[in-house]
Structure 1
Amino acid sequence: MKENKSEKLEIGTILIACLLMIVQRVLLSAITVPEYANNPGRFYLYSVMKVAVGAGLGLVPLYMGYHYQKIAKKNVLRYLSSFFLLYVFIALISNIFFYVQASVLNLRDYWLIFFPVSQNYFIYAASCVLLFCSIPILTKWLTLLSTDYLKKVTIGLTVGFSILPTLFNKDLWGFQNGANVLWIFYLFLVGYAIKQLRLDKKMKFKFLHVCLSLGILIGLILLMTQISLSIRGDASTANRFSVPYSLFSLYYTISLFTFSEAISQKLGIKVKASIVATSLIVTQMVTYWPLTTYRVTAYLKKSFPDSGKKWLMNMFEFIGIYLGVTLLLIVICLILQKVSLFKKLNNFLSFDSPAQLSQKLRALRSWIHQKRMIFYVAIFFYLFTFLQIFLLEKKDGWTQTFQVVIKIFTLRQSVLVLTTLIIMSFFLLLLLLTNRFWYVFSLTLLVDLLLTVSSVIKVSLREEPVFPSDLKMLNSISELLSMVSPILIAVGAALIVLLTISSIVIQRKLQHRYSLKFNWKKRVIGIIVLAAMLSSVFFINHKNSPSFLLFNLFRVNKLFINQGEAVKENGPIIQFLNNIDVKIMDEPKNYSKDKIEQIMKKYDDEAKEINQTRNNWLENQTLILNLSESFSDPARVPNLRVPVDPIPTIKKEIKNNTGGVMLSVGYGGGTANMEWQGLTSLDISSLSASLVTPYTQLVNAQQVSPNITNLFDQKIAIHPFTASLYQRKSVFDKFGFEEFYYIDSPNKLTYTDKIERSPRISDESAYKETLKALKSNTETTQFIQVSTMQNHMPYEDYYDQLDYTAEGTAILESRKGELATFMQGLHYTDEAIKDFLQELDKIQKPITFVFYGDHLPSLYSGNDSKKYGLEHHETDYFIYSNAFSREQSKKVNKKVASPINFNALAFEQANIKVTPFYALLTQVTDKLPASTIDPIESISNRYNGKQVFVTEKNKIIFEKDLTKEQKVILEDYKYIQYDLVAGKQYAAKWAEQKVEQ
Structure 2
Amino acid sequence: MIKNKSTKFNYLPIIVACLFMVVQRVLRSAIEIPEYSGYVTRFYLYQIVNAIVMVGINIFPIYLGFYAQKFKEKNIFRKLSHYLLLYILTSLVINVFFFFLQNSLNIRDYWMILFPISQNNFGYSVSCVLILLFLPVLISWLDQTSEQTLKISVLFTSFLFVVLPTLFSKDLWGFQEGKSILWVLYLVLIGYFLKRMKVLQKVRFPLIHLIVSVVFLVSTIFIMAVVSLQMRNDVSTATRFCVPFSLFAMYYTVSLFLSLESRKYLRLNVSTDMIAATLISNQLAINVPLVPYIISTYYRKSYPDSGAQWLKSLVMYIILWFGASVMLTFGNILIQKTKSFTFIARKLAVESPKDLQRKLLSVCQWLKRKQRLLFTAMFFYVFTIIQMLLISETQLSISVSDTANAYGFILLKRQAPIFLNVLIIMMFFMFLLIVTNKFWHSFILTVIIDLVITISNYLKIALREEPVLPSDLKLLSGINEIIDMVNPIIIFAGVAVIILLAISSYVLERRAKRLYNLKISWKKRGIGLTVIVLFFSSLFFVNHKNSPSYLFFNLFRVNRYFYNQKLGAQINGPIVQFLNNIDVLVMDEPAGYSEEKIKEIMKKYDKEAETINKDRVDWAENETVIFNLSESFSDPKRVPNLTIDNDPMPYVRQLMKETTSGLMLSNGYGGGTANMEWGALTSLDISNLSPTLPTPYTQLVEKQMISPNITNLFEDNIAIHPYVATLYNRKNVFEKFGFDTFYYVDGPDELKYQDKIDDNIYISDFSAYNETLDKLKANLDTTQFIQLSTMQNHMPYKDYYQENNFSFSGNAVVRDRQSELNTYMQGMYYTDEAVRYFIEELDKIEKPITFVFYGDHLPSLYSGNNMGKYGLVQHETDYFIYSNRYSRERSQKLNKKIVAPYNFSALALEQADIKITPFYALMTKLTNEVLASTTDPSASISNNYNGQKIFVTDTNETLSETDLSSKQKELLDEYRLIQYDLTAGEEYAAEWASQSVIDR
| TM-score, length basis structure 1 | 0.88
In structure 2, relative to structure 1, the CA distance for the partners of 1:322 and 1:432 (3 Å cut) is farther
Q: Write the deviation string for residues 449-489 of structure 1: whole angstroms up to 9, x where unpaired.
A: 11111111111122211111222233333333333333333
Equivalent in 652, 674, 684 of residue 650 of structure 1? 652
Query: Quick one: distance in 1 between partners of 2:313 and 2:301?
Result: 8
Structure 1 equivalent of residue 969 of structure 2: 967
Q: Deviations over 1:55-85 (max 9, x none)?
A: 6455545655666676555432111112223
Question: 1 CA distance for matches of 2:322 and 2:225?
Answer: 37
Change (3 A) 1:910 1:602: same
Using the TM superposition, give the Cα deviation of residue 597 of structure 1 relative to its aligned residue in structure 2, in angstroms: 1.2
SS of the counterpart of 1:679?
Answer: helix
Instruction: Write out aligned runs for 1:787-806 (5 A).
Output: 787-806=789-808
Q: 1:42 & 1:395 partners in 2: Cα distance? A: 53
The 8 Å contact of residues 299 and 861 in structure 1, kept in 2 or not, is answered as: no
- Given residue 15 of structure 2, which amino acid in structure 1 is its aligned partner? L
Partner residue of 2:996 out of 980, 994, 997: 994
2:589 matched residue in structure 1: 587
Question: Is the 2:854–2:877 contact (alpha carbons within 8 Å) kept by the matching residues of 1?
Answer: yes
Q: Which residue of 1 aligns with 2:770?
A: 768
Q: CA, structure 1 residues 312+946, in 2 after alignment: closer, same or farther (shift >3 Å)? A: closer
SS at match of 1:450: helix
Equivalent position of 2:18 in the other structure: 18
Partner in structure 2 of residue 758 of structure 1:
760
Residues 758 and 799 of structure 1 are in contact (CA less than 8 Å); yes or no, is this contact kept in structure 2? yes
Task: Map 1:93-104 onto structure 2 (within 5 A).
Answer: none
Query: Is the deviation greater in 894-903 or in 279-288?
Result: 279-288
Superposition deviation, residue 897 in structure 1: 0.7
Distance in 2 between the 1:752 and 1:105 partners? 45
Give me the CA root mean square deviation: 3.8
Q: Is the 8 A contact 1:55 1:244 kept in 2?
A: no
Tell me how far apart the structure 1 counterparts of residues 995 and 242 of structure 2 sit (CA, whole Å): 77
Partner Cα separation in structure 1 for residue 701 and residue 163 of structure 2: 75
Deviations 1:12-33 (A, max 9, x none): 4432332233335545776677
Distance 1:567 1:34, change over 3 A: closer
Task: Report matched runs for 1:248-263 at 5 Å.
Answer: 248-249=251-252, 252-260=255-263, 262-263=264-265
SS in 1 for 2:951: strand
* Alpha carbons 1:559, 1:692 under 8 Å: kept: no
Does residue 128 of structure 2 align to residue 125 of structure 1? no
Deviates more, 1:522-531 or 1:808-817: 522-531
- Structure 2 residue 924 is the aligned partner of structure 1 residue 925: no
2:78 aligned residue: 78
* Cα shift readout 1:912-964 (whole Å, capped 9, x = no counterpart): 22211111111111111112222234632222223322222222222222111
C-alpha distance in 1 between matches for 2:960 and 2:223: 63
> In the alignment, residue 894 of structure 1 is paired with which amino acid?
K
Q: Distance in 2 between matches of 1:621 and 1:43?
A: 59
Letter matched to residue 689 of structure 2: L
Instruction: Answer with 508-517 or 476-485: which moved more.
Output: 508-517
Shift of 1:824: 1.6
Q: Counterparts in 2 of 1:470-549, with a 5 A limit? A: 470-516=472-518, 521=523, 523-549=525-551
Q: What's the CA shift for 1:569?
A: 3.0
* C-alpha contact (below 8 Å) 1:58/1:253 kept by paired residues: no
Within a 5 Å distance, the mapping from 1:633-644 to structure 2 comes to 633-644=635-646
CA separation of 1:340/1:573 partners in 2, compared to 1, >3 Å: closer, same or farther? farther
**Superposition pairs for residues 303-702 of structure 1, below 5 Å?**
309=308, 312-337=311-336, 342-343=341-342, 345-394=344-393, 404-516=406-518, 521=523, 523-702=525-704
- Most deviating of 14-23 and 804-813: 14-23
Distance 1:408 1:136, change over 3 A: closer
Distance 1:947 1:297, change over 3 A: closer
Report if aligned partners of 1:217, 1:242 keep a CA contact under 8 Å in 2: no
Q: Distance in 1 between matches of 2:222 and 2:393?
A: 65
Q: Secondary structure at the match of 1:691?
A: coil
Alpha-carbon distance between aligned partners in 1 of 2:391 and 2:108, rounded to the nearest angstrom? 26
Which segments of 5 or more consecutive residues in structure 1 lack a partner in the other structure?
Answer: none
Aligned to 1:948: 950
Letter of the 1:970 counterpart: L
Separation in 2, partners of 1:167, 1:751 = 60
Equivalent position SS for 1:690: coil
Aligned mates of 1:747, 1:596 — CA distance in 2? 40
Residue 178 (structure 2) pairs with residue 183 (structure 1) = no
Shift, 1:154, TM fit = 6.5
Matching residue of 1:781 = 783
Q: Structure 1 residues 901, 721: CA separation in 2 closer, same or farther (over 3 Å shift)? A: same
Q: Give me the whole-angstrom Cα distance separating, in 1, the residues matched to 2:219 and 2:796.
A: 48
Q: 1:299-336 deviations in whole A, cap 9, x for unaligned? A: 97777888764554444234223302212322343354
Q: What is the letter of the counterpart of residue 596 of structure 1? A: I
Normalised by the length of structure 2, the TM-score is 0.88
Residue 834 of structure 1 is aligned with which of 826, 833, 836? Answer: 836
Q: d(CA) in 1 for partners of 2:249 and 2:939? A: 51
* 1:284 match: 283
Cα distance in 1 for partners of 2:820, 2:227 equals 37
Change (3 A) 1:416 1:845: same
Amino acid at match of 1:492: G
Quickly say closer, same or farther: Cα 1:681–1:249, change in 2 above 3 A.
Answer: closer
> Structure 1 residues 487, 40: closer, same or farther in 2, change over 3 A?
closer
Q: Is contact 2:61-2:185 (8 Å) kept?
A: no
Give the SS at the match of 2:444: helix
Worse overlay, 118-127 or 857-866: 118-127
Name 1:724's counterpart in structure 2: 726
Which residue is equivalent to 1:214? Answer: 210
C-alpha deviation, 1:847, in angstroms: 1.9
Which whole-Å CA distance do the structure 1 matches of 2:249 and 2:770 have between them? 69
Distance 1:691 1:798 in 2: 36
CA contact (8 A) 1:22 1:287 kept: yes
Separation of aligned partners in 1, 2:259 and 2:534: 57
Displacement of 1:291 in angstroms is 6.3
Matches of 1:910 and 1:473, distance apart in 2: 43
Structure 2: state its 5+ residue gaps.
232-237, 396-402
Q: Deviations over 1:169-200 (max 9, x none)?
A: 67999695776343343245346548xx7x86
Amino acid across the alignment from 1:284: Q
- Matched with 2:823 is 821
Matched length: 974
SS class of match (2:545): coil
Residue deviations 1:605-635 (CA, integer Å, cap 9, x gap): 1112212222222222222222212211111
Describe the shift of the 1:219–1:404 C-alpha distance in structure 2 as closer, same or farther (beyond 3 A).
Answer: closer
Measured at CA, do residues 892 and 81 of structure 1 come closer, stay the same or move farther in structure 2, by a change above 3 Å?
same
TM-aligned CA deviation for residue 385 of structure 1: 1.0
Identity of aligned residues (%): 48
Assess if the C-alpha contact under 8 Å between 2:707 and 2:737 holds in 1. yes
Secondary structure, in 3 states, of the residue corresponding to 1:568?
helix
| Residues in 2 aligned to 1:17 and 1:650: alpha-carbon distance in whole angstroms | 55
Residues 967/19 of structure 1: CA separation in 2 closer, same or farther (3 Å cut)? same
User: Any conservation in 1 of the 2:631–2:794 contact (CA below 8 Å)?
Assistant: yes
Q: Matched residues in 2 for 1:813 and 1:942: separation?
A: 27
Query: Tell me, what secondary structure is at the counterpart of 1:866?
Result: helix
Matching residue of 2:713: 711
Deviations 1:486-518 (A, max 9, x none): 333333223223323333333344344434456
8 Å Cα contact 2:62/2:190 also seen in 1? yes
